[in-house]
């Protein structure tokens, strides 16, 4: 049984959805959840409240409409107050991944940033608005002082790419930004995007980088599996990851390294299995966490 889509889920009860969503890793946080829900529900801001105005004053670079996000997951999100509709939205976004819009990519990319070792992130700001014609989704300020701009797409086409480059020039000049990297995050794209073409953005010569959601169809686990590291050092749901590379990034971030054996418990989340089978190893190796 494959629960890739919501319509194939046998038990669509609110309790079942809440249980599955609680397995999302990295955890959705108390601070992130209302921003996420407002984005995916209405695509509009909540209004000009004094609280929101104060939030905007805290944004890096002083750019209106960008609000800070926090990777600290010590305050996990509470799902008990959410409606069934909102639970379904989160399920489709992070578990079945059947939502592949720009906003879906935006929040899955954010989850990826929480475990990625690619940048040493100091602070990150998300565009509060969900409007389609927004240019930049994230502004990342790294600890080394560099700035990364991220633009998200459902499907990145050539005409969108050309329009983006022009718009980025205006955006960066308006706010005196000199980005060190431009990242294009997309669910799918076409091969005619000129990623090897250097661009001049507000005086900086850059090559755009592509982050593409890639489903590894040969991955050694399925959506319904439970993934276990060593003797229960970590136990997480397989539906969080597109492939083994993503999972090993998570293991690197959340373990002490050393000898690692990854097991899977097949169909752990599947309601078609009345008896849960035993675990089986799917990866062995050594993870070295070097100190620079």
* Mean pLDDT comparison of 1-15, 205-219, 228-242, highest-scoring range: 228-242
- pTM attached to this predicted model: 0.88
Residues 231 and 198 in one domain: no
Q: What are residue 82's phi and psi, to 5 degrees?
A: -75, 145
Query: Cβ distance 138 to 182 under 8 Å?
Result: no
Is 154 inside a domain boundary?
yes
Q: What are residue 16's phi and psi, to 5 degrees?
A: -65, -45
Is 217 inside a domain boundary?
no
Task: Give the pLDDT score at 59.
Answer: 42
Residue 75 clears pLDDT 50, i.e. is over it: yes
Q: Identify the band that residue 44 occupies on the pLDDT scale cut at 50, 70 and 90.
A: very low
CA 199 to each of CA 4, 174, 196: distance values in angstroms, whole numbers, following the listed order: 39, 18, 9
pLDDT digits (tens, 9 = 90+) for 183-221: 999 999 988 998 888 888 888 888 889 999 988 888 899
pLDDT digits (tens, 9 = 90+) for 157-168: 999 999 998 899
Residues 190 and 268 in one domain: no
How many domains does the chain divide into?
Answer: 2
Is 140 inside a domain boundary?
yes
Greatest Cα pair distance, the chain, in angstroms, is 62
Residues 74 and 207 in one domain: yes
Is 221 inside a domain boundary?
no
Please state, rounded to an integer, the average pLDDT across all residues of the chain.
86
Residues 19 and 115 in one domain: yes
Residues 16 and 108 in one domain: yes
Q: Identify the band that residue 62 occupies on the pLDDT scale cut at 50, 70 and 90.
A: low
Report the distance separating Cα 148 and Cα 141, nearest Å: 7
Query: Cβ distance 191 to 155 under 8 Å?
Result: no
Is 48 inside a domain boundary?
yes
What are the beta bridge partners of residue 203?
none
Residues 76 and 37 in one domain: yes
Task: Give the pLDDT score at 53.
Answer: 33
Residues 94 and 52 in one domain: yes
Task: Assign 184 to helix, strand or coil.
Answer: strand
Residues 173 and 244 in one domain: no
Helices 244-254 + 102-115 axis angle, to 10: 40
Which range of residues forms the domain containing residue 239?
226-287
Task: Give the pLDDT score at 13.
Answer: 92
Burial class, 36, CB count within 10 angstroms (exposed 0-12 / middle 13-18 / buried 19+):
buried
Is 78 inside a domain boundary?
yes
More confident residue, 291 or 111: 111
Task: Give the pLDDT score at 47.
Answer: 35
Is 220 inside a domain boundary?
no
CA 152 to each of CA 101, 134, 190, 217, 269: distance values in angstroms, whole numbers, following the listed order: 9, 10, 15, 23, 31
């Amino acid at each position: 049984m494959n629960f890739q889509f919501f319509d194939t889920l046998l038990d669509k009860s609110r309790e079942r959805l809440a249980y599955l969503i609680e397995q999302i890793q990295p955890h959705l946080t108390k601070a992130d959840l209302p921003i996420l829900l407002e984005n995916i529900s209405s695509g509009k801001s909540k209004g000009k409240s004094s609280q929101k105005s104060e939030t905007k004053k805290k944004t890096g670079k002083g750019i209106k409409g960008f609000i800070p996000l926090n990777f600290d997951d010590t305050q996990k999100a509470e799902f008990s107050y959410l409606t069934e509709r909102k639970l379904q939205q989160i399920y489709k976004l992070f578990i079945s991944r059947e939502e592949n819009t720009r906003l879906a990519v935006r929040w899955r990319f954010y989850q990826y940033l929480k475990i990625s070792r690619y940048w040493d992130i100091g602070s990150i700001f998300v565009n509060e608005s969900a409007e389609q014609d927004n240019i930049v989704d994230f502004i990342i300020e790294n600890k080394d002082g560099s700035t990364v701009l991220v633009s998200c797409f459902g499907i990145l086409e050539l005409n969108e790419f050309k329009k983006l480059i022009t718009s980025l020039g205006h955006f960066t000049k308006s706010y005196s930004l000199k980005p060190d990297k431009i990242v294009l995050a997309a669910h799918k794209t076409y091969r005619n995007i000129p990623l090897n073409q250097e661009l001049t953005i507000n005086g900086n010569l850059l090559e755009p980088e592509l982050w593409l959601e890639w489903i590894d169809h040969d991955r050694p686990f399925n959506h319904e599996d439970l993934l276990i590291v060593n003797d229960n050092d970590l136990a997480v749901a397989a539906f969080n990851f597109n492939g083994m590379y993503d999972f090993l990034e998570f293991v690197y971030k959340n373990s002490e390294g050393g000898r690692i054996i990854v097991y899977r418990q097949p169909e752990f989340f599947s309601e078609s299995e009345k008896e849960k089978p035993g675990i089986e190893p799917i990866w062995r190796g050594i993870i070295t966490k070097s100190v620079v």
